[in-house]
Chains A and B, each alone.
Chain A
Amino acid sequence: MEYEEAKTKVVEELTKKQKTKSKFYFNDLSKILEMKPREAKKIVNKLVEEGVLEYWSSGSTSMYGLKGTGKQAGAEHEG
């Protein structure tokens, strides 16, 4: 899958789920991309680098979300 195609797919799927969820496990992303984790990782890394996705971390677990979405986003993007 081309990068642009993958990007559209991820953004579409995550936007659809926005109502119920704003943070996703890495596994959810590789499922959306229908790729092996190692392949999916390359795309996901690039999406983060481009600022399409952002990391969320509890300290023990990491998740991904569309940049600027979710409950905490407003509170945390200080200035």
Chain B
Amino acid sequence: MSEKILVIGELQQGVLRKVSYETIAAAKQLNANAEILALVLGDGDLQQPAEEMIHYGADRVVTVSHANLSNYTSEGYGQVIMEVMQDEKPSGMIMGHTSVGKDVTPKIASRLELGLISDAVAIEKEDDQVLFTRPIYSGKAFEKKVMKGEGLLFATIRPNNISALEPDASRTGDITAKEVDVKDLRTIVKEVIRKKTEGVDLSEAKIVIAGGRGVKSAEGFNALYELADLLGGAVGASRGACDADYCDYSLQIGQTGKVVTPDLYIAVGISGAIQHMAGMSNSKVIVAINSDEEANIFKMADYGIVGDLFEVLPLFIEELKLQGALVS
């Protein structure tokens, strides 16, 4: 266990994001024999998320709690992560490609003059080299990248692509609270306006029902919510639907919005613009419901229904109810 890989447990309103567990699985793919060290940072009692990281496969956890970490700032998080890196000298580091991960990792890479591979969807080993696969050109192509030289294996991973390990509640490991004086922040977060809706987190959902301009109104989205409830999924949207005020921008999927990789993506009244595809093209199974048989979304779809969504959705809901306990 000479080598060490550092992963970051990312908290969102006190709860670990699922991608945190995936970073542990990714770390094991870098080096199956390395010690996996997790850093959990925030403000308050971090014992529970620390234990969860261990259940999901981390060997040891360092927690850092500080009032200046209650809201994310690149400076606050940057100071803590770099201090832990200095203490622990890991040979690899993995974080989720989330709003926070995208923001803080290039700062660290730049300060320490490191390479960084962002938004990896797969990791493999070939002759002792670690290859990271990442989408480019809005998902129209992929590239495999490697670190040159001996530097830190440093990457962010796209949520929902590398499966987390099965949790084991009997696993134990050392949890140490570390003091870091988080200071000299030039950035102040004054207010956070949360727009997230209740229920399953869109970027982590296994099933996503997304509506577009074709849904035609906010009321039209009710059928999507009902479907999502039945399937245990989350509702998303295209830019078109958000711009038309049928739903909040926090539901937007695509290049500008959330990037999702669910097992099942149902696109309802969405044409399939490239900027939308950039956010969902990696989904495992894609269903399109659209009245225009020429719509681009059908090129991506595994299953398509050419038809009026206002006719299809009620039947879909009825059929699911009929099938009874299908809820996953």
Chains A and B are bound partners: no
Interface of A with B (CB < 8 Å)? none
